[in-house]
Amino acid sequence: MTVRLLRLHLLRYGALTDRVLEFRPDARLHVVYGQNEAGKSSALSSLSDLFFGFPHHAHYAFLHNAQTLRLAATIRARSGDELSFRRRRGKKDTLLADDEAETPLKDDALAPFLGGLSRPVFERAFGLDSERLRLGSRAMLDADGEAGDLLFAASAGILGLRQVKTAMDEEANALFTPRAAAGKAFYQVLARHEEARRLERDHELRAGDWKSVNDAIDDLTERHAAKVAERTELRRREQGLVRLNQLRPILAEIDREREQLRAFADLDHVPEGQGSAISAALATLRQANERVAAAEKARERAEAKRADIAIDVVYLDHGDAIAELLSQSASHLKDLRDLPRVTGERDDFSRLLEDLAHRLGLVRSDLDRLQPTDMAIAGLAERAAAARQAAERVALLDERLAAEMVQASTLEAQATEVAAIDPRPWLDRLEALRPDIELLGDVDSRTVKLETERRRIAEAVSRLVPPVKDLDALAKTSLPEETTLAAQRDRMRDLQQGARVLQDRIDRERVEIDALEAEARAEAHRGVTASPAAIHQARSDRDGLFREIAASLTGEAPPIEPAIAAVSIGRYRSAVTAADALADAALEQSDRLAEAAAKSRRREDLLRSHAALLKDLETDEAAQAKAQAEFARPFSSLGLAAGSPDEMIVWSRALAALLAARQALLEEEDRLASLKQTAQQLREPLELIGRGIRLEGSESLPLRALDRGLRERLRQLGEAWDASRDLAARKRDTARRVEDLRERRAASDRSAQEALAALQAETARLGLFEPGTPAETEAALALWKKVPDLRREEDNRARRVAGIERDIRGFRQSVEALVSKLDASMSGFPPAEAIRVFHDRAQAARTADTMDRQARQDISEAEEGLSEANAARVDAEERLAALVAGFGQAPDADAIAGRLIERDGLRVSLSRCRSRLGEVAAGEDEASIRAAIQEADRDAALPDLAQLSEDIHRLDGEVDELFAQLAAEKARREGMMGAKGAELAAFERKAAEAELVQVARQWAVLKFGSLLLGAAMERQRAAQSNPMLQRAGALFSAITEGRFDGLRQQFDENDRPTVVAVRSNADFVGASGMSDGTRDQLYLALRLSYLEDYAERNEPAPFIADDIFQTFDDERTLATLKVLGETSERIQPIVFTHHGHVVELARAALGSALDVVEL
Closest by CA position to 433, among listed 241, 261, 681: 681
Same domain, 363 and 495: no
Q: Is the pLDDT reported for residue 260 higher than 50?
A: yes
Same domain, 866 and 835: yes
Contact 1045, 1062 (CB under 8 A): yes
Q: Which residues pair with 1060 in a beta bridge?
A: 1048
Give Cα separations from 653 to 72, 484, 650, 660, 693 (angstroms). Answer: 82, 13, 5, 11, 57
Q: Which of 522-531, 733-742, 907-916 has the lowest mean pLDDT?
A: 522-531
**Mean predicted lDDT score pLDDT of the chain:** 78
Contact 47, 1104 (CB under 8 A): yes
Same domain, 556 and 622: no
The contacts of residue 273 (CB under 8 Å, 6+ apart) are 904
Confidence of residue 30 (pLDDT cuts 50, 70, 90): very high
Residue 109 burial (10 A CB sphere; 0-12, 13-18, 19+):
middle
Domains held by the chain: number: 6
Q: Which of 30-34, 247-251, 459-463 has the lowest mean pLDDT?
A: 247-251
- How much is the pLDDT for 979? 46
Please check whether residue 385 lies inside any domain of the structure: no
- How much is the pLDDT for 125? 76
Please, what is the end-to-end C-alpha distance for the chain in angstroms? 27
Please check whether residue 1000 lies inside any domain of the structure: no
Burial call 567-606: b when 16+ CB within 10 Å, e when fewer: ebeeebeebbebbeebeebbeebeebbeebeebbeebeeb
Q: Is the pLDDT reported for residue 202 higher than 80?
A: no
Tell me the per-residue pLDDT of 700-727, one tens digit each, with 9 for 90 and over: 777 778 778 888 888 888 777 777 776 7
Contact 1121, 1081 (CB under 8 A): no
What's the rounded Cα separation, in Å, for the pair 174 and 40?
Answer: 47
Q: Is the pLDDT reported for residue 623 higher than 80?
A: yes
Same domain, 494 and 630: yes
Please check whether residue 105 lies inside any domain of the structure: yes
Contact 64, 11 (CB under 8 A): no
What's the rounded Cα separation, in Å, for the pair 988 and 992?
Answer: 6
Same domain, 918 and 826: no
Most confident of 15-19, 74-78, 648-652: 74-78
Mean pLDDT of 252-261: 78
Contact 1062, 1076 (CB under 8 A): no
CA angle 350-355-359, nearest 5°?
150
Mean pLDDT of 951-974: 75
Same domain, 597 and 503: yes
Tell me the per-residue pLDDT of 914-932, one tens digit each, with 9 for 90 and over: 787 777 777 777 777 777 7
Same domain, 627 and 567: no
Helices 147-156 and 161-175: crossing angle, nearest 10°? 110
Tell me which H or E stretch contains 1070: none
Give Cα separations from 618 to 490, 506, 567, 1035 (angstroms). Answer: 20, 12, 58, 98
- How much is the pLDDT for 206? 46
Q: Which residues pair with 5 in a beta bridge?
A: 75
Burial call 25-52: b when 16+ CB within 10 Å, e when fewer: eebbbbbbbbeeebbbbbbbbbbbbbbb
Which SS3 state, helix, strand or coil, does residue 1029 take?
helix
Cis peptide before 831 (omega within 30 of 0): no
What's the rounded Cα separation, in Å, for the pair 425 and 721?
Answer: 13
What's the rounded Cα separation, in Å, for the pair 253 and 275?
Answer: 24
Give Cα separations from 399 to 385, 392, 395, 854 (angstroms). Answer: 21, 10, 6, 94
Closest by CA position to 151, among listed 1025, 1023, 1013, 1073: 1025
Please check whether residue 807 lies inside any domain of the structure: yes
User: For residue 403, which amino acid is it?
Assistant: A
Same domain, 1117 and 1153: yes
Please check whether residue 822 lies inside any domain of the structure: yes
Instruction: State how beta strands 1057-1063 and 1044-1051 pair.
Output: antiparallel
Find the DSSP H helices in 264-318: 274-307, 313-317
Closest by CA position to 376, among listed 719, 788, 986, 737: 788
Mean pLDDT of 86-104: 86
User: For residue 32, which amino acid is it?
Assistant: V
Tell me the per-residue pLDDT of 126-164, one tens digit each, with 9 for 90 and over: 777 777 777 766 766 565 544 444 454 444 444 445 566
- How much is the pLDDT for 312? 76
Confidence of residue 73 (pLDDT cuts 50, 70, 90): very high
Q: Could you give the percent of the chain with pLDDT greater than 70?
A: 86
Please check whether residue 294 lies inside any domain of the structure: no
Q: Which of 118-122, 406-410, 810-814 has the lowest mean pLDDT?
A: 118-122
Please check whether residue 148 lies inside any domain of the structure: no
Q: Which of 239-243, 803-807, 850-854, 1029-1033 has the lowest mean pLDDT?
A: 239-243
- How much is the pLDDT for 531? 64
The contacts of residue 147 (CB under 8 Å, 6+ apart) are 1021, 1025, 1049, 1056, 1057, 1058, 1059
User: For residue 44, which amino acid is it?
Assistant: L
Residue 351 burial (10 A CB sphere; 0-12, 13-18, 19+):
exposed
Q: Could you give the percent of the chain with pLDDT greater than 90?
A: 1
Same domain, 853 and 941: no
The contacts of residue 675 (CB under 8 Å, 6+ apart) are 439, 440, 443, 446
Mean pLDDT of 374-387: 81
What's the rounded Cα separation, in Å, for the pair 71 and 89?
Answer: 9
Closest by CA position to 205, among listed 976, 972, 973: 976
Q: Is the pLDDT reported for residue 207 higher than 60?
A: no
Q: Which residues pair with 86 in a beta bridge?
A: 72, 96
What's the rounded Cα separation, in Å, for the pair 673 and 669?
Answer: 6
What's the rounded Cα separation, in Å, for the pair 512 and 426?
Answer: 101
What's the rounded Cα separation, in Å, for the pair 105 and 111?
Answer: 12
Q: pTM of whole model > 0.75? A: no
> How far does CA 1007 lie from the centroid of its chain?
22
Which SS3 state, helix, strand or coil, does residue 1060 take?
strand
Tell me the per-residue pLDDT of 972-1015, one tens digit each, with 9 for 90 and over: 676 655 544 555 666 677 777 777 788 788 777 777 777 776 66
Looking at residue 1137, the DSSP 8-state letter turns out to be E
Give Cα separations from 1136 to 447, 1150, 1158 (angstroms). Answer: 62, 16, 10
Same domain, 367 and 499: no
Please check whether residue 939 lies inside any domain of the structure: yes
The 8 Å CB, 24+ separation contacts for 606-611 are 606/509, 606/512, 606/513, 606/516, 607/513, 609/509, 610/506, 610/509, 610/510, 610/513
Instruction: State how beta strands 1133-1137 and 29-33 pair.
Output: parallel
Same domain, 619 and 582: no
Boundaries of domain holding 466:
444-479+645-688
Tell me which H or E stretch contains 97: strand 95-97
Which SS3 state, helix, strand or coil, does residue 277 take?
helix
- How much is the pLDDT for 72? 92
- How much is the pLDDT for 205? 46
The contacts of residue 86 (CB under 8 Å, 6+ apart) are 11, 70, 71, 72, 95, 96, 97, 98, 102
- How much is the pLDDT for 605? 81
- How much is the pLDDT for 1017? 58
Which SS3 state, helix, strand or coil, does residue 75 take?
strand
Closest by CA position to 1071, among listed 1089, 1052, 1054: 1052
Looking at residue 1127, the DSSP 8-state letter turns out to be G
What's the rounded Cα separation, in Å, for the pair 443 and 673?
Answer: 10
What's the rounded Cα separation, in Å, for the pair 232 and 817?
Answer: 116
Same domain, 584 and 597: no
Find the DSSP H helices in 463-481: 471-475
Q: Domain containing 510 — which CATH number?
A: 1.10.287
